Structure 1
């Protein structure tokens, strides 16, 4: 059962990394936030790569990585923009829509019908997203739903969740043609390299300002590194579906961080909403 505390720690590292990124680099542009995260995590990754077992890699692996990297780069930019422009408690919980989109994609494309628990899970996630904006109900029963699309971070994270639902399938394919530990470190190193190479051409990067914050940057980079390390270790010990379910506790931690670090309001309804969304993930991944 070692995977369980590892997965729990992964969830904590994810939420902590997001909170620190917003706290330390929230005044920068989304491009700069992404660059800061990549800049300060890349050294940890490069140091680790020589110590990883290097599996035999085939064409399927390389083609999959070539699709994954640009998709994830775009998703990471949207992710940074979402946590910059909106409260953590109204952005991170929407990652729970990833398994919902996976079910809907399977139904629309493959004709796969979700089971009873899968339907319940979708219901919990939708109800939770409604509850996140539950205080708006005084303006009408549809007001919480309209509020989702009025809050930029909420709908941006919905797009991220949709992209992640595609990345999950492609990532599984890449792991099948390499190994969980190698793929996790290699892929994030490749992602960091692409972000550091191309984002400076897409937006102004204030390198001097970012480099004047080494302690804060290293704390963010180290959280990303620990997230990756514990994720890879946990997922190598148990079926991915169990590990990812526990990892999604990060949405609960994110709401708590939003309250503690940023004084985000309406925290009770947002915690209730995040909890319902977490229950939805559990229903879909473990029982659906």
Structure 2
């Protein structure tokens, strides 16, 4: 039950991070946002790491760290390319395929495989998130998936979903080799350095952008730090595929926020069906 609660906190933190990021991206570019996110998260985790102590870094840990950080960097770049080149309503639902990919990657990488109820819960969450993102005006309900063949942005997002199914399993390895806090800090601190040359090339006056949005960026960093820590602790108690499935249910909270506070009441029927399906999936995983 503790693992489920931690995963649920991860979903809430992810939703808050995404909502805060949405406001920030009206004023700054995505490269500055990505750099700031990792910078603030690293700064927030430093005192915790120092208090708990520096972990012994085995060769297995270093290999996992290198693999995870490189893959996460690729994910960031592909994600930005996808949302720039294609409509969000077409590309974003593809991210919900990550838990399904994990039904393949988790058994191979870390020997974890959900039971029958767990698989049902994962499928329900993926289905519910997809339905809630499906536009009622689309003639083809499989449009986001059909677009993979025709749309470059959708192909990028499909790769993102698959890579996340790998990095989530590497997180399990990193946590087992050290600790949730040290792994989270090490990975994001390394990615921060990868982003420095990208920021210098792609962003215009990033320091001024950060200064103008320092409060908003701090909130994003705090929410992301909470999300990362709760996720890393959650995977110590329940299967990684379950944690990521519940994490992807952050869409539920975003949908509710948009409905009540942003007056986004279009596509209400599909979104309510999606929410009910997601809740059912969460319940099934909880009792599995």
- TM superposition score normalised by structure 1: 0.76
Equivalent position SS for 1:69: helix
CA distance in 1, matches of 2:275, 2:255: 8
Aligned to 1:9: 9
Deviates more, 1:273-282 or 1:1-10: 273-282
Give ranges in structure 1 of 5+ residues lacking alignment.
none
Aligned to 1:22: 22
For the Cα contact (< 8 Å) 2:129–2:251, is it kept in 1? no
Aligned to 1:215: 215
Shift, 1:116, TM fit: 5.0
Aligned to 2:60: 60
Shift, 1:85, TM fit: 7.8
Shift, 1:70, TM fit: 1.3
Equivalent position SS for 1:263: coil
Aligned to 2:271: 270
Shift, 1:162, TM fit: 0.8
Shift, 1:142, TM fit: 5.1
Give ranges in structure 2 of 5+ residues lacking alignment.
none
For the Cα contact (< 8 Å) 1:8–1:247, is it kept in 2? yes
Shift, 1:178, TM fit: 1.8
1:39-65 residue CA offsets vs partner (Å, 9 max, x unmatched): 333321223321123332211111121
For the Cα contact (< 8 Å) 1:65–1:187, is it kept in 2? yes
Whether 1:199 and 2:198 are equivalent positions in the alignment is yes
Shift, 1:249, TM fit: 3.0
Shift, 1:280, TM fit: 5.6
Q: How many residues align?
A: 283
Q: Structure 1 pair 106/120, CA: closer, same or farther in 2 (3 Å)? A: same
1:123-150 residue CA offsets vs partner (Å, 9 max, x unmatched): 543575256325135x356556547888
Aligned to 1:172: 172
Q: What is the RMSD of the two structures over their aligned residues, measured on CA atoms?
A: 4.0
CA distance in 2, matches of 1:192, 1:264: 38
CA distance in 1, matches of 2:275, 2:76: 21
- TM superposition score normalised by structure 2: 0.76
Shift, 1:86, TM fit: 7.8
